[in-house]
A and B are shown apart, each in its own frame.
Chain A
Amino acid sequence: MMRLQRCAACGRAQYPPREVCGTCLSDQLTWESADSLPARVLARTRLHHSNEPRFRPHLPLTCGLVRFDAGPVAVCFLADAAVPGDLVRVRMGDNDLLRAE
């Protein structure tokens, strides 16, 4: 599943989640759920270094910046083949981490 926060007052979607709407400051926030959400890749990187030992066996890791069609921008794990401009679907995987494919 993929969840994205949306303000009930002004309708704006936001990410990362917070307790008030970053646009109108309302605290009437709802969650939209879907199997996946469409987004476009804005930028990508191949990480060859991590500050956490637990990631080191998995290097290199591909990460990206994507923009949901709903508006907000998210840092996520990215399919190795995805490049900026590509349309992707973003899902929440283990530990609620985002992955775009």
Chain B
Amino acid sequence: MRGHAPSQAAMMPGSYQGVALCCPVTEPYVRRSDHGAAWFLARALRRLLDAGGVAKTDVDGLCVSSFTSRPDTAVGFTQYVGVSPRVLEWLPMGGACGLIALRRAARAVQAGDAEIVACLAGDTANATSFRDLLAEFSSFARDAVYPYGAGGPNASFALIADAYMRATGATREDFGKLAVAQRANARRNPLALLRGELTMADYLAARPIAEPLHLFDCVMPCAGADGFLVMPEARARRLGLPFVRVLSAIERHNAFPDDPVQLRGGWAMDRDTLWAQAGIGPADVRFVETYDDYPVISMLQFEGLGFCTEGDGPAFVRRHDFTIEGSLPHNTGGGQLSMGQAGAAGGYLGLVEAMRQLLGAAEGRQVTNARHALVSGFGMINYDRGLCSAAAVLARP
């Protein structure tokens, strides 16, 4: 694999051996809700306890992510739902929060700081919640982005997409191919909010939102929550819970700060470590879950994680079929583009879908022979680019 950055090879992180990921749960997404974010998080916690067959008092670690729980954080949530964890993580890292929760929880379990860690992300959605969030998303965004038309992430990603198209020759059809394939996958997923047929003609005819982005390039904000449990394998076995293993996992923040436009995320800095620790390469994973707040960002992940070379994303997309029976199933539940973006839960969606696939629990959309998966996350347009990137290679035991 090509090197992009100073080698991290000298510092191979410790193995994730002995860690079990169990019980992917989803509090079903809805377009709008009068409930608060804590309701969604609490419902997901209830589902985790039921799925795991554990008591609330057994949960001694908690990772929480939410945008709309403000002013409350993970701290307030402990009192809200009456838990007393000895490890508590508040992970406001948007599209990377699920993978980062996995990393924090796994290390806490390995170190013995916690035995059962509940990882949760969820948000509500109402008429003003999205605008309120965008207006105060970060100090740089509030002062130096939002006043320029208040386009929100659509505007920021439009600029990245415009630069990417000019740099690589990517076309709207390339982005559309990803969106259309994800819709086909979503049509087999009862949890997806958007299940109507989407053709390439529909995609191309959609109204412009922030050119070059059009309607089907953009996620639909919604309410919902996702979660999973992390515990020692031995505990999962005693509980009779099927589990998924973590072969490797990476995160990186504010990578390549001197790139004038974000044409790569942080994955390139750490992917050699990711694959070396996993002991397999991109060609060995059966399916991929990327963070698809916009199709262009999925392309950056294919490139950054070594599925193709930098700038080769369009050609890569043209030579693959991303549906369930295709050459590289991608965002097998429909991704955020078809499931909806339930705020921070968007950072969990790919992870819980990969767990379901590896556990053989993906029902009408099961990928055959799903042994290894790559899950990738990307989050937080603080100013002009997403600052958080993360990825993990997961395996069925």
Residue of A15, A42, A63 touching B151 (CB-CB under 8 A) = A63
Given A73-B260, A75-B159: A47 in contact with B151 (beta carbons within 8 A): yes
Proximity bits, B204-227, A CB within 8 Å = 1, else 0: 000111111100000000000000
Residue of A42, A47, A51, A58 touching B163 (CB-CB under 8 A) = A42
Contacts of B158 in A (CB 8 A): 45, 47
B148 interface residue per 8 A CB criterion: yes
Task: Tell me the complex Cα distance, A50–B135, Å.
Answer: 12
Which of B28-36, B137-145, B171-179 participates in binding chain A? B137-145
The answer to whether A16 and B207 touch across the interface, beta carbons within 8 angstroms, is no
Q: Which residue of B lies closest to A73 (CB)?
A: B260
The answer to whether A61 and B149 touch across the interface, beta carbons within 8 angstroms, is yes
A52 interface residue per 8 A CB criterion: yes
The answer to whether A84 and B144 touch across the interface, beta carbons within 8 angstroms, is no
The answer to whether A48 and B144 touch across the interface, beta carbons within 8 angstroms, is no
Chain A nearest Cβ from B142, distance in angstroms: 10
Contacts of A97 in B (CB 8 A): 147-148
A31 interface residue per 8 A CB criterion: no
Residue of B156, B162, B211 touching A48 (CB-CB under 8 A) = B211
Given A16-B383, A44-B159, A74-B144: A50 in contact with B166 (beta carbons within 8 A): no
The answer to whether A49 and B154 touch across the interface, beta carbons within 8 angstroms, is yes
A91 interface residue per 8 A CB criterion: no
Given A16-B140, A73-B384, A84-B166: A45 in contact with B151 (beta carbons within 8 A): yes
For B, the interface residue count at a CB cutoff of 8 angstroms equals: 34
**Restricting to A48-83, which residues have a CB under 8 Å from any CB of B?**
48-52, 55, 58-59, 61, 63-65, 67, 73-77
Residue of A51, A59, A64, A67 touching B131 (CB-CB under 8 A) = A51
A4 interface residue per 8 A CB criterion: no
Query: Secondary structure at chain A's binding surface: helix, strand, loop or mixed?
Result: strand
B160 interface residue per 8 A CB criterion: yes
Task: Tell me the complex Cα distance, A42–B356, Å.
Answer: 41
Task: Tell me the complex Cα distance, A50–B155, Å.
Answer: 9
The answer to whether B151 and A50 touch across the interface, beta carbons within 8 angstroms, is yes
- Which of A45, A64, A73, A75 has the most chain B CB atoms inside 10 A of its CB? A45
Task: Tell me the complex Cα distance, A85–B162, Å.
Answer: 12
Contacts of A63 in B (CB 8 A): 148-149, 151, 155, 159
Task: Tell me the complex Cα distance, A12–B135, Å.
Answer: 29
Chain A nearest Cβ from B166, distance in angstroms: 6
Contacts of B207 in A (CB 8 A): 48
The answer to whether B209 and A75 touch across the interface, beta carbons within 8 angstroms, is no
Contacts of B162 in A (CB 8 A): 43-45, 84
B134 interface residue per 8 A CB criterion: yes
The answer to whether A43 and B151 touch across the interface, beta carbons within 8 angstroms, is no
Task: Tell me the complex Cα distance, A66–B159, Å.
Answer: 10
**Restricting to B105-127, which residues have a CB under 8 Å from any CB of A?**
none
Chain B contacts to A: CB under 8 angstroms: 130-131, 134-135, 140, 143-145, 147-152, 154-156, 158-160, 162-163, 166, 207-213, 260-261, 383-384
Since A65-B159, A73-B261, A84-B166 are in contact, a sample of 10 more A-B pairs with Cβ atoms closer than 8 Å, ordered by chain A residue number, is: A45-B151, A45-B159, A45-B212, A47-B151, A48-B211, A49-B151, A51-B130, A51-B151, A75-B383, A76-B148
